[in-house]
Amino acid sequence: MYRKVILAASALAFATSAHAATETGPYVGAAVTVDSVNIDQPGIDSVGSTGVGASAFAGYNVALGNGLFVAPEANIDLNTADAHLTNGVDTLRYRARWGWGVGARAGYDISDSTAAYVRAGYAREQIRTTVTGLSDKTWLDGVRVGGGLETKVAPHVKVRAEYNYVNYDKGVSNTQGLLGLVYGF
């Protein structure tokens, strides 16, 4: 009986210390992204391009207990994905320029310094289409889903690695890898 009480108390102490990573409070961050934009084009399977970009984000962590947390978050992204298609006479060019989004992360503290999470939200992206010199900007709406890991590297500072997929309207999608720094207040 005494052994069971000690084992139960030890398990409770371990579980409590293992879930101390996420604190309730605001945070901001900046990241480098790699974006792979794909556009379905009538008569062609698709047109795609990869580019390096940047992201800035801000949110608010809410610790729910037992290692669980949620965090509403907003972001703004700059993109450089630029696709060209030519038939020798006409040129078609798509450029992902910039966008923004809102959503939330939900996660679990897998150790006292590292958390895993999933995300879902709304995304909006500006695409510039140029056909033989004539240019037009279009705003696209989409659903963003993804997941990632955050790990504490210093007091108030975390490193974030994340994978996202955004499915925009009009046959446009973006697969994004993100690596950034997060500062919690």
**The pLDDT value given to residue 2:** 45
Domain segments of the chain: what residues?
2-184
Tokens of 166: 């955004």
pLDDT tens-digit profile of 5-56? Answer: 444 444 444 444 444 568 899 999 999 999 988 888 777 667 778 899 999 9
Q: What is the CATH number of domain 2-184?
A: 2.40.160.20
Alpha carbon of 94 to those of 35, 45, 97, 149, 155: distances in Å? Answer: 14, 15, 9, 32, 42
Could you list the beta-strand ranges (E) of 42-171: 44-65, 68-78, 82-86, 91-109, 114-131, 134-154, 157-168
pLDDT tens-digit profile of 72-123? Answer: 999 999 988 887 777 777 777 788 889 999 999 999 999 999 999 999 999 9
Distance CA 157, CA 163 (A): 20
pLDDT tens-digit profile of 129-158? Answer: 888 778 889 899 999 999 999 999 999 999
